[in-house]
Chains A and B, each alone.
Chain A
């Protein structure tokens, strides 16, 4: 459609279509995406920007990996149904903690699960001795095929991140990549917050500020999305603990008050904890760029129950934007996510 418009804008303007035709057109060009739970509640489309917020260990990166696996798995492969999207993922690793073995582990689990359920259906379980070797090479081929669709770049500061976004943009335009990127993932967006804020006052004239960096980042992602409709998934970790008393852009006044009287926080710790740890620190340009927001929490495992070594910690998720009033509980297991009722 974009190509047509460029050729002859008048013709594009002149076209009259009914709402139904428009809807079906846009539904087919940008079909809704159903992500694995607990991200399945909101209806997402390419072009949306989803922010997954939550403290460390609440499962943010895990949800990213689950979504990545869904994206790079094919829908069907040699007659076996995998239910994936068969498209490419671009993963920006800002906090440099991505573990490729974890991705391979989740992917292998998925492949093995789908295979075994397919074999169960066709009922050939008896001759597993001879099939083992064949099966393994089949799974490895599929794994490497999927991993080829996973693109990864690690960035150590905001300038590198922006450079990587520019490269992505110029590359996808010249179509060297050869694959269509459907999910863009950023883990995690606030990583360089302190570095950018710190540089702000030191090199006021030549260096860019946090605001400037964020503007450029948003602009670059927008440019990329115009070219290639993709779903953007971003994680965001809190940078303030429940009792850090730092000044920040949003509440200089109140933080001064907190500095004077730290006991205020101690007394109302329980109520304050949540609000403080999920306090927004990204510049407003980023906040308005985000279209969907989900908050994760983890129920801290008690130190007293340490002896039961296989206790699963419970995570809760809550959509904030759009505001769905339901909270969902889930646990992270090797194969993925299990919803707890």
Chain B
């Protein structure tokens, strides 16, 4: 009886509105929600393993503190390790394929530890005379690039549209993109889409912001996506800065990370402002490879 009720609910409402007990939740999390390492040493430890599937991680920091680099790095690492397909929503034309190529080139570990998937696919692309180690760089790069889908999004309506399409495609075709699923959704930066619509005296802007947040969290939970968004910082008075988008947005991300870059160097400092599992306030230094 209970099972039937659960199934009824699942068919009509999906996972929202379904009653779970603690053990079911625990099984779901340990079974299908993993940590996706960003490849940035220090940050992964700070986050307890990386970006978590099913959660929304926000990276915030002052201008040119390395937020976009953080995103590009995570995208290349996840794609190069064949963990799945990365969807990169670019709101300010900051996505740089050549930067991704440099990151992949600059991290030798990414090529040495090829996943089993790549060894299966390689013979289709290559003449037999090539050994795996002799595989030309550009072919390997092409394979990695193929699993990063970049889309430009310039306003919140386009974002809603893209997210809606993503949801439909995830629901309809779970085996899309050559057998590998989307596992990471990056929006760089979400604040440039949301900041213009909030504020003022009408609630519709904020309503839209919270709706976007709920869609993101729903997608993350139901399709095991790790969602990474960036947010800029605004003045909090007295020369201090704080993450933008205000108090209502503060309650949205599961994990909030603030990064800052030491002047004139490529050493960044990351601080956890919020984490569902670990204590906040912890900090680490990491290097953004140039």
Q: Give A contacts to B, CB under 8 Å.
A: 55-57, 72, 95-97, 99-105, 144, 146-157, 160, 163-164, 167-168, 171, 176, 188, 191-202, 237-241, 243-247, 255, 259, 266, 269, 277, 301, 303, 306-307, 309-313, 332, 334
Contact = CB atoms under 8 A, between A and B. Distances in A.
Contacts of A245: 199
Interface of B: 1-2, 5, 9, 13, 15-23, 25-26, 28-29, 55, 199-204, 206-211, 214, 217-218, 221, 236-237, 240, 246-248, 250-252, 254, 269, 271, 273-274, 276-277, 279-283
A57 B20 CA distance: 26
Nearest to A147: B22
Nearest to A276: B247
B281 A313 contact: yes
A311 B268 CA distance: 21
Contact of A100 (B2, B15, B26, B283): B26
A154 B211 contact: no
A156 B248 contact: no
Contact of B211 (A100, A152, A195, A239): A195
Given A56-B274, A57-B280, A156-B218, A194 B16 contact: no
A105 B17 CA distance: 25
B214 A96 contact: yes
B225 to A, nearest CB: 13
A198 B201 CA distance: 11
Nearest to A187: B251
A57 B22 CA distance: 24
Contact of B21 (A148, A191, A237, A303): A148
CB-CB nearest 10 A-B residue pairs:
A198-B207, A147-B22, A150-B22, A99-B276, A247-B201, A194-B206, A241-B247, A197-B203, A100-B25, A56-B250
A168 B277 CA distance: 29
Contacts of A201: 202, 204
B207 A197 contact: yes
20 contacts: A56-B251, A96-B218, A100-B22, A101-B26, A101-B276, A101-B277, A152-B21, A152-B22, A156-B218, A176-B2, A176-B5, A195-B211, A198-B208, A238-B247, A255-B201, A303-B271, A306-B271, A306-B281, A310-B282, A313-B280
A148 B199 contact: no
Contacts of B202: 201
Contacts of A168: 19
Contacts of B251: 56, 95, 97, 188, 191, 237
B210 A102 contact: no
B21 A239 contact: no
A176 B5 CA distance: 10
B206 A198 contact: yes
B15 A309 contact: no
Given A56-B274, A146-B22, A148-B21, A269 B247 contact: no
Contacts of B13: 160, 163
Contacts of A334: 279
Nearest to A97: B254
Given A154-B221, A239-B248, A198 B204 contact: yes
B207 A199 contact: yes
Contacts of A192: 210
A144 B23 contact: yes
B164 to A, nearest CB: 14
Contacts of A55: 247, 250
A212 to B, nearest CB: 15
Given A153-B19, A160-B13, A307-B283, A277 B247 contact: yes
A160 B281 contact: no
A21 B13 CA distance: 48
A202 B207 CA distance: 11
Given A57-B274, A240-B247, A309-B282, A149 B218 contact: no
B17 A160 contact: yes
A150 B21 contact: yes
Contact of A157 (B20, B214, B250): B214
A311 B271 CA distance: 13
Nearest to A60: B251
